[in-house]
Amino acid sequence: MPEQDRLGRLSRRAFIQAGLLGAGVAALLPVSVPVAKPRDVPRNRTLTLVWTGREGRWIDHELWNPYAIGSNHQSGPGIFYEPLAYYSAFADKEYLWLAESYAYSPDFKELIITTRSGITWSDGVPFSAEDVAYTLNSLRDLGPKVRWGVDVQQFMQEARVTDPHTVVVTFKMPAPRFFYFMTYKYDIGVYIVPQHIFQDQDWTTFKHFDLEKDWPVTTSPWKVVFASPEQKIIDRRDTWWAAKARLASMPKVERNIWLPSAGEQQLAQALITNQVDYSMSIQPATMPTVFRQNPKITTHSGQKPPYGYMDWWPYSLYVNNEKPPFNDKDIRWALSSFIDRQQIVDVSWAGAAEPSPLPLPAYPALLPYINAVKDILAKYNTLEFNPKKGEAMFSAKGWKKDSAGIWVDPQGLRLSLDIISPGALGSAVGPVISEQLKRQGVDATFSLPPDFDIRFQKGQYTGALYGHGGSVNDPYHTLRLYQGASVAVPGAHLVNFAKWKNEAYDQIVDEVFATDMRDQARLLELFRKAMEIWIPELPDIPLTYNYHRIPMNTTYWKNWPTAENPYVNGAFWHLTYAMVLWNLQPTQ
């Protein structure tokens, strides 16, 4: 027994020693160490922001090629690939960037792009028209393998370099919106890549990340100095062609730290304690708490509702137009009459929102179109809450309420509506709208299925809450969301989530497609014709505008994009974030 005791004591000691040694070594194991320690940057020249990540960590920290599957321009790569042009919907202004000019042929089957001179990639290789042509031709060839591939393949015949600063793009069909498609706005725009880096790579797996090689190679003033699941650190380079060309001033932000979100509570606390300067949207109900504890936090609308700006994504209650009884426009109108949008604003959004009469945002460039159909909206009020009107519509079609107060059609079928929705929108609005409908005799249920995207895209739903990623400066992109078929764009990928079909409408949208974006008179005429069909038909039921409620901390930084200074929308995850970076000024 003494021997066993001794063995036991030795084992314990050895265990503890091994444990301590292991813990010490293990404490150092998890972290990736940068190749060289970057310079120190003071807090008042550092911009720290929080973006979604995934469950508190980055999953794409090694992906700086925005075309790789799994990569996301919203998480940092967006600022490294400068565009041919930026467009600010708030200023309704186009800013030519890598492109100096562009011109379409009269039939819109050819586009000539002239690139700027004096631009070099960060490795010293000059940027040229070759990079633009290579990017476009590669996208055409890669097609469905990469983001934007099909969009380019669908329209473009070829991109040809005629001299070091000229690219001639030829199209299979008239493409009057191709340059606009390539322009950076919101989440849309073609990333121009360095040919000399990408040409021997598989775009779908190439990470374009190697700190020793100073990758990603960029024309922007930014440089990745560290990236791990915990943080991405981006430093400013010393020179930038755009500052030399006096297109923009050199950014004052010397370091930009991207942190993944750990949840709204922690985010609010980090904003209050000035650990964070800029963040993803937070719930309107959280805003007053944050303002109270840190008066230096502001938003696009200051410290007043809606605590942000109108996003391009007004949302609706979609009903599947292929499924009876929702294939009947009168039933859709009756449902619309049952919905109290002001209550949705008050309860779901704590009063910080506005109802939207149409599925497009009230942006400066779109206001003429919205104003042009005011008389139609007066006749068909898409925002009217009038249960009696809805009841009358049901009764006129022979529907009656059963003993439980649910509408039943003449064949005895109850009116059921299962509403599905993704994430935050659904959590806020779903319970309110389903309760409103229940009170009016609709057997409504609400859920947040994990496979929402697939079900919604395939039309495997009855009701859904979702927005409209459509227009910001001309009406085409919203109108095409409802096209059932297109002759003008053969093989077009049609969104048509509502599964609504109307041939006359489709023809009008094809005409809009072929119309010059600058021909507002013709576009107004066509938009009105389309709305004369769309509004009475009501393919989906408009609810409210969507808002980005982005907190911005003025402790270290000022000149944020706000209602008084709307140079661009403030979403740093959008492709126009670079504009915010070169506009921010230090307070200290």
Partner 1 sequence: MQLGYVAKRCGVFLLIIWLAATLNFFLPKLSGQDPVREKLLQQAQLGGYVQAGIEAMAKEYEQRFGLDKPLWSQYLAYLHEMSRLRFNYSISHYPRTVSEIMAEAIPWTVVLLGTTTVLSFTIGTLLGALLAWPGAPRSLRFLMPPLWALHAIPFFLCGLILIYLLAFQLQWLPMFGGYTAGAFPALSLAFVGDVLTHAILPALSIILVATGGWALTMRGMMVTTQGEDYVTFAEAKGLKSRTVFLRYCVRNAILPQTTALALALGQILSGAVLVEVIFAYPGIGTVLFHAIRENDHFLIQGIVFSVIVALGVATLLLDVLYPWLDPRITYRRA
Judged by CB under 8 A, the chain residues 461 through 520 that form the site for partner 1 are: 467-469, 492-493, 495
Distance between CA 571 and CA 51 in Å, rounded?
10
Per CB under 8 A, 31 contacts partner 1: yes
Distances (CA, A) of 66 to 119, 138, 193, 198, 472: 21, 14, 9, 12, 23
582: amino acid identity, one letter:
W
CB-nearer residue toward partner 1: 150 or 568: 150
Q: Which of residues 81-120 bind partner 1 (CB under 8 A)?
A: none
Query: Taking Cα atoms as reference points, which of 344, 131, 117 lies closest to residue 218?
Result: 131
CA 549 centroid distance within chain = 14
Among 2, 3, 37, 404, binds partner 1 (CB under 8 A): 37
- Binding of residue 387 to partner 1 (CB under 8 A): no
Task: Report 50-79 residues binding partner 1 (CB under 8 A).
Answer: 53-57, 59-60, 62-63, 68-70, 72-74
* Closer residue to partner 1 (CB): 44 or 395: 44
526 binds partner 1 (CB under 8 A): no
**Residue list 249-268, contact with partner 1 (CB under 8 A):** 255, 257, 259-263, 265-266
Closest approach of partner 1 to the CB of residue 299, in Å: 19
Residue 126 interacting with partner 1 (CB under 8 A)? no
d(CA 319, CA 340): 17
Measure the CA–CA gap between 209 and 216, rounded to whole angstroms. Answer: 5
Residues numbered 310-329 forming contacts with partner 1, rule: CB under 8 A: 311-313
**Interface characters, 199-238, with partner 1 (x: CB under 8 A):** -----xx-x------------------x-xxxx-x-----
Angle of CA points 186, 188, 189, to nearest 5° = 120
26 in contact with partner 1 (CB under 8 A): yes
Q: How far is the CB of 311 from partner 1 (least distance, A)?
A: 8
From residue 133 to residue 172, the character string flagging contacts with partner 1 as x (rule: CB under 8 A) and all else as - is ----------xxx-xxxxx-xx------------------
3-class secondary-structure state, position 538: coil
Q: Which residues pair with 160 in a beta bridge?
A: 168
- Applying the rule CB under 8 A, the residues between 398 and 457 that interact with partner 1 are 450-451, 453-454, 457
Q: Which residue, 259 or 417, has its beta carbon nearer to partner 1?
A: 259
**What residue type is assigned to position 196 of the chain?**
H
Dist. CA 494–CA 245, nearest whole Å: 41
For the chain, how many helices (H) and strands (E)? Answer: 19, 24
Peptide bond into 34 cis (omega under 30): no
Is the CB of 280 or the CB of 415 nearer to partner 1?
A: 280
> What CA–CA distance (Å, rounded) separates 385 from 124?
62
Residue 167 CB, shortest distance to partner 1, in Å, is: 22
